[in-house]
Amino acid sequence: MNRDIQKLLKEKWFLVAADLTAVIGILSLGLNPKDGFEAFLAVVGILGASLIVVIPVLKEGSGKSERLAEQARLRTALAEEIDRLREDFRAGTEAVNRRVTEVELTARKNTDTAVAAVAQRASTEINALKASLAECEGRLQELQQSSGQNTETKEAMDDLGARVQSLANAVRGAVADVEEITEAAARRDDVTKQLQESAEEVKTVRDEIKKAAQKADRAVTKVESSVEALQARLDALAENPPVASAPSQPSVVDDEPEAELISEKEIETSAPELELEDEPVTEVFAASPAGGGTSLIVNLMIGIGNKPFVRGSGPGLSPDKGIPMSFLGIGRWQWISPDAEAPATVEIWKNDQAQIGEPVHLSGGEPVEIDESHFSGA
């Protein structure tokens, strides 16, 4: 609290000096404290002089709250931007993981397909060799049958069979070697292809992460520049605070019965200063309806420049828009129904803006007069 007072004396010393000057000037008038009216004037003057300091302090407090709200909004925006960047990075990481999993599954499927194709081709070749061997064995048996008991021919046929058998074994070994070489080459090609695809995917993800990082850097730089600009503005406001104009003296509206002493010239002079839709109040006396009839007379001190309006249900009345009452005299107003015999329920509104008192029911055919006690609740 002492720090706030010191800051006020340091920054608003001219306002404090003006306030003290005004208070000293009021006290130097020599008003009699035993006189109630003069004491009241002195108190009102001192309170009015204190507004010289109170109003700028209140305005400065509202500006400070706005600055704090702006800082909180910037912090919230920065936190949202950081959270969004984190979500983008997390989504990119998940996309990389999914892509790596898909690459592994694709490589496994391609390997299984290549192995199945090589196995099928090897089985086909082995079946073809078996058929050729069976054909050779058949021919050999035919040669043995045609040779009969010739020993040399038999030995030659046995030697030929052994050679064919060795040739078949060599062919089987060569086929097996070819299958292994083919399978190894296929695997190498698949692995090379998968590695290339993985390298491309990793490069793509790296580029995306790099772009996200650059975007985050730009966002952080932008937010930092905004915070610096706001801080510079706050410093400028702190160094050169806006000077509030001296408050105007409050106008006092006297609604008490002493208002009857005000002359017609004063009423016509003060009425244009009030922003009302109606013309200034003038002493225009309305005549009562001939032979009686439905009408309402109100005895009400409503204040200088104010005027009563009537709303309700009945001839010429509306619940949404009021009709101004006719001026009969100071504190005396009248409304005459267009239909002299029709009943009506009338509401009194001050300046057609706020209802005062309770609604009044007119039975019809005769005037009704109410006094100020109806509006005060007495």
* pLDDT digits 0-9 by tens, 123-146: 787 888 788 778 877 777 777 666
String of DSSP letters for 253-301? ---SGGGGGS-HHHHHHHGGGS--SSPPP---PPPPPTT--SEEEEE--
Q: For residue 105, is pLDDT > 60?
A: yes
Q: For residue 286, is pLDDT > 50?
A: no
Structure token digits, residue 280: 């200034």
The sheet carrying 323-324 orders its strands as 323-324, 308-313, 344-350, 354-362
Question: Was domain 257-376 assigned CATH 2.60.40?
Answer: yes
Q: 3-state DSSP call for residue 89?
A: helix
More confident residue, 114 or 297: 297
Q: How far apart are CA 316 and CA 336, in angstroms?
A: 10
Structure token digits, residue 251: 């106008």
Is residue 56 within 8 A of residue 243, CB to CB? The reply is yes
Q: For residue 311, is pLDDT > 90?
A: yes
Nearest to 345 by CA among 326, 357, 360: 360
pLDDT in tens, 29-82: 777 777 888 788 888 888 888 787 777 777 766 666 777 787 888 888 888 889
Helix axes 151-239, 36-147, angle to 10 degrees: 170
Nearest to 332 by CA among 366, 297, 358, 361: 297
Q: For residue 262, is pLDDT > 50?
A: no
Mean pLDDT, the chain, rounded, equals 75
Is residue 84 within 8 A of residue 54, CB to CB? The reply is no
More confident residue, 290 or 141: 141
pLDDT of residue 18: 81
Query: Mean pLDDT: which of 246-260, 266-280, 295-309 is highest?
Result: 295-309
pLDDT in tens, 324-368: 999 998 889 999 999 888 899 999 999 999 998 889 998 888 889
Give Cα separations from 33 to 17, 29, 46 (angstroms).
25, 11, 14
pTM score of the predicted model: 0.27
Q: How far apart are CA 192 and CA 307, in angstroms?
A: 97
Element counts in the chain: helices (H) and strands (E)? 6, 8
Q: What percent of the chain has pLDDT over 90?
A: 12
Could you tell me where in the chain the CATH 2.60.40 domains are found? 257-376
